[in-house]
Structures are given as C-alpha cells and as structure tokens.
C-alpha cells in the first residue's frame, strides 16, 4: 500500500455502527449532510427520449457541458458578483472532486494547507492523499501565526460545515489581506451558499478574484447529492490546471447528470426559497428541543452540539450510547483534533417527525447521566 493509501482517514462511523447494530427498531440518520426533500430537478422529469443519442451517450468535454457552463457563468455574475467567463468554470463530480483537483493543482507534496477548524472532514484526507500537510487553526486570528514557508493555501467554508459559522465582510477583508501579504491561495468552500438564515452570503472571490478558488454543489443547493455534480470558479490559470486533472481522473462529468443540474439551476428558485424556509424551521425546532447546548448556526444544515457536560473532552462515549438507541450523529474528532467534545447533528436529512424522534432519543440518553 502507498503512504497516502495508509494515511487517509477511514470512516468515522465504523465504531458507532457496532453499537447501532444492537438497536432493533428504526435507525435515524442525523450524521450525514443530506436532505429529505425531493430534488429541484428529478431525472424522471427530463424527456430523455426527445434527445438524440449523441447528446447523452458520447463523451462530453472535460470542462463541462456548454449549456451548464453558460448557466453557471450567468449565476456567478448575478448572484455572487463575480466577473467570470466560461474560462473560469470547471464542472466536477461533486464538490469533493473539485476540492481534490484544487488541492492537487495548487499544492506540491510537502506543502501545507491551513484549515479553518472545525472543518469539513474530507478536506483533511484530500490534503493527505496528495502528500500535503493539513494545519488546523481555530480562529482567523491564528492564521497568520500558522503560516510557514511551506504554506500554499488557506481553506475556509462559509457557511461552515459543521458549525454553520459564516464569514462577515470584515472577516473576508482580513482573510484577503493575509493571503495577499503572504502570496497564498484561498480555497473557499461555498456549497451552503443558498442556506443562510440571518446573515447574507459573501463570496470571497468577489474581494480576491486573482487568488480564490470557489467550490459549489448541486447536492447541497438542489437536493441532487446522488447525481454528483459540482463546480469550481477560479482564475483561468487554475482552471486550465484543474481541467487537465479532471481529464485524467474522470475525463468528463456524466452528461445526463449535468442536464439534471442545468434544469435545477435554471428553474430551481422556488425550490431554494421553500427549502430555506423548511430548513430554518427545522434548525429552530431541533435547537429548542435538544437538551445539549449548541450555538445558533446562521447558515448550513447542522447543529454543532457541545456534549462536554456529559462526556468531557471526547464525546465518543456518549455518541456510542446514542447509537445504541438507533441514532447516529457525527463525532467532533472528524472535524479537527481540538473539537472532540462536540458532534454534528444534521437537521435537514429527515422529516420533522423523525427529527423530533431522533432528538428525543438523544435526550433520553443524556437524561440517564447523573
């Protein structure tokens, strides 16, 4: 096995599933970032028969289907205030693929990638798989202290996964100043841009287009997780490099899936408005019902729950008891070395009835502690 094959972290849920297996009833998944809503554009709604075989079954272009790329350009210009053209767009197999290509394209083996923590779990493994060292920092004020001659880029997510935190205008300005002072790239993960509740979403690239790679997701915005379509916006030199990496990894994103993403992007405004209202209500409902404390997230799909009162510095023992009651939440150890007392609870993955039931089971476990 290769060094990276051994070093990339395994599933964080293997230990919890052993306890879950003992529960005889309905399993409630509150650990994964998905939605119970039907997608904005479903596959069965597309008139596939009306398309010529060449439109579906021949190879596509590595950059992305022209119609989808054009729609992304329009969206980025109007919604994100980014002055982009087709040359700045790369369609990918989900945002995970976009981030793989971004890290591989920007960072050499031995480089360092600063991660604003708590961070999306897979970004750490992505860095390790390319022999890049992830460096965790808990606050923007710590970023400059963490920079070394080997630092290549800073990864941020807004709204953040797992805690829903969002960058304010002042924070974006500070981040950009640091990146420019040290000639660093910014990798901005904005997959939850459409699910903000109290604060407006700000795209970092609007302030630093020359050094920002921004990733977006049809999975999160339009409930199309299984279709695996995402995209990146970046300076042309970066998209040229990413395009080569896409060519050598998947060649092109499945064309049929891109057509479904195109339909969502063109006609999904009503879905976004309705989903945002549903998610906001679910957030408020979950936070009010749960006994364990969490900060009110201004965006995203998660409660970042503090279990330290019940489990001290590592919440895994209490999560094992919760799993034994048929509920999974994601342990904080996946999101950073310094946040093991917390866990991520997704409030969008199941309907209101099952969300209430899952939280009641969690509360029952917490109530069993002295």
d(CA 47, CA 187): 37
d(CA 218, CA 87): 20
Helix axis angle, 352-367 relative to 316-323, nearest 10°? 120
**Tens digits of residue pLDDT in 326-335:** 999 999 999 9
Cβ(316)–Cβ(324) below 8 Å: no
User: Where do runs of H (alpha helix) occur along 47-168?
Assistant: 53-56, 66-79, 94-106, 121-129, 143-146
Tell me which of 3 and 347 has the higher pLDDT. 347
User: Where do runs of H (alpha helix) occur along 190-306?
Assistant: 218-222, 236-249, 255-267, 269-289
Helix axis angle, 269-289 relative to 255-267, nearest 10°? 80
d(CA 274, CA 258): 23
**Tens digits of residue pLDDT in 48-91:** 999 999 889 999 999 999 999 999 999 999 999 999 999 999 99
The architecture of the domain spanning 58-267 is 3-Layer(aba) Sandwich (3.40)
Structure tokens at 65: 């289907």
> Global pTM?
0.95
| For range 167-191, the mean pLDDT | 98
The pLDDT value recorded for residue 15 is 75
Helix H, strand E, coil C: the string for 195-212 is CECCCCCCCHHHCCCCCE
Structure tokens at 197: 């509740």
| For range 177-195, the mean pLDDT | 98
As a whole number, the mean pLDDT across the chain is 96
The pLDDT value recorded for residue 13 is 73
| For range 216-244, the mean pLDDT | 97
The pLDDT value recorded for residue 17 is 80
- Classified as helix, coil or strand, 80 is coil
The pLDDT value recorded for residue 369 is 95
Q: Which option is the CATH number for 3-39+270-367: 1.10.287.130, 2.30.110.10, 3.90.1150.10, 3.40.630.10?
A: 3.90.1150.10
- Classified as helix, coil or strand, 151 is strand
The alpha carbon of 128 is separated from its chain's Cα centroid by a whole number of angstroms, namely 18
**Tens digits of residue pLDDT in 4-42:** 888 888 877 777 887 787 888 889 999 999 999 999 999
* Whether residue 159 has a cis bond before it, omega within 30° of 0: yes
Beta-carbon count within 10 A of 83 CB: 11
d(CA 152, CA 283): 36
**Tens digits of residue pLDDT in 264-279:** 999 999 999 999 999 9
Cβ(334)–Cβ(343) below 8 Å: no
Instruction: Place 307 in a pLDDT band, splitting at 50, 70 and 90.
Output: very high
- Classified as helix, coil or strand, 261 is helix
The pLDDT value recorded for residue 366 is 98
Q: Which residues contact 228 (CB under 8 A, 6 or more apart)?
A: 93, 94, 97, 219, 253, 254, 257
* Model confidence at 314: pLDDT above 90: yes
To 10 degrees, the CA torsion angle through 111, 114, 117, 119?
Answer: -60
Name the β-bridge partners of 330: 344
**Tens digits of residue pLDDT in 114-149:** 999 999 999 999 999 999 999 999 999 999 999 999
The pLDDT value recorded for residue 5 is 87
Instruction: Place 100 in a pLDDT band, splitting at 50, 70 and 90.
Output: very high
* Model confidence at 217: pLDDT above 90: yes
The pLDDT value recorded for residue 9 is 84
| For range 307-334, the mean pLDDT | 95
The alpha carbon of 269 is separated from its chain's Cα centroid by a whole number of angstroms, namely 21
Structure tokens at 25: 């009833």
| For range 99-128, the mean pLDDT | 97
Instruction: Place 343 in a pLDDT band, splitting at 50, 70 and 90.
Output: very high
- Classified as helix, coil or strand, 182 is coil
Which secondary structure element, helix H or strand E, spans residue 306, and what is its range?
strand 302-306
d(CA 343, CA 204): 27
- Classified as helix, coil or strand, 46 is coil
Domain definitions of the chain by residue range: 3-39+270-367, 58-267
| For range 363-368, the mean pLDDT | 98
The pLDDT value recorded for residue 14 is 73
d(CA 195, CA 19): 33
Beta-carbon count within 10 A of 278 CB: 17
């Amino acid at each position: 096995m290769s060094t990276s094959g051994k070093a990339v972290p395994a599933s964080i849920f293997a230990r919890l599933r052993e306890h879950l297996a003992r529960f005889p009833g309905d399993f409630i998944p509150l650990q994964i970032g998905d939605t119970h809503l039907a997608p904005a554009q479903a596959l069965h709604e597309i008139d596939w028969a009306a398309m010529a075989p060449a439109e579906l079954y021949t190879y596509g272009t590595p950059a992305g289907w022209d119609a989808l790329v054009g729609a992304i350009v329009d969206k980025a210009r109007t919604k994100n205030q980014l002055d982009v053209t087709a040359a700045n767009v790369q369609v990918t197999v989900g945002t995970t693929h976009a981030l793989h290509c971004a890290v591989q394209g920007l960072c050499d083996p031995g480089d360092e990638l600063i991660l604003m923590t708590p961070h999306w779990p897979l970004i750490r493994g992505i860095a390790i798989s390319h022999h890049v060292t992830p460096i965790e920092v808990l606050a923007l004020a710590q970023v400059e202290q963490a920079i070394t001659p080997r630092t290549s880029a800073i990864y941020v997510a807004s709204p953040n996964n797992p805690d829903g935190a969002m960058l304010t205008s002042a924070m974006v300005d500070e981040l950009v100043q640091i990146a420019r002072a040290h000639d660093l790239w910014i990798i901005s993960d904005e997959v939850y841009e459409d699910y903000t509740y109290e604060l407006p979403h700000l795209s970092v690239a609007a302030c630093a287009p020359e050094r920002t790679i921004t990733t977006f997701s049809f999975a999160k915005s339009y409930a199309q997780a299984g279709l695996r379509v995402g995209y990146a916006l970046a300076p042309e030199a970066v998209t040229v490099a990413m395009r080569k990496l896409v060519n050598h990894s998947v060649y092109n994103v499945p064309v049929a899936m891109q057509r479904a993403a195109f339909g969502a992007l063109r006609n999904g405004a009503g879905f976004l408005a309705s989903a945002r209202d549903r998610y906001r209500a679910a957030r408020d409902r979950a936070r009010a019902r749960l006994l364990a404390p969490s900060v009110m997230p201004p965006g995203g799909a998660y409660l970042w729950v503090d279990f330290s009162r019940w489990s001290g510095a590592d919440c895994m023992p209490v999560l094992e008891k919760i799993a034994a009651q048929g509920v999974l939440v994601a342990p904080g150890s996946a999101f950073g070395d310094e946040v093991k007392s917390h866990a991520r609870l997704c409030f969008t993955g199941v309907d209101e009835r099952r969300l209430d039931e899952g939280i009641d089971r969690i509360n029952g476990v917490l109530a069993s502690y002295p």
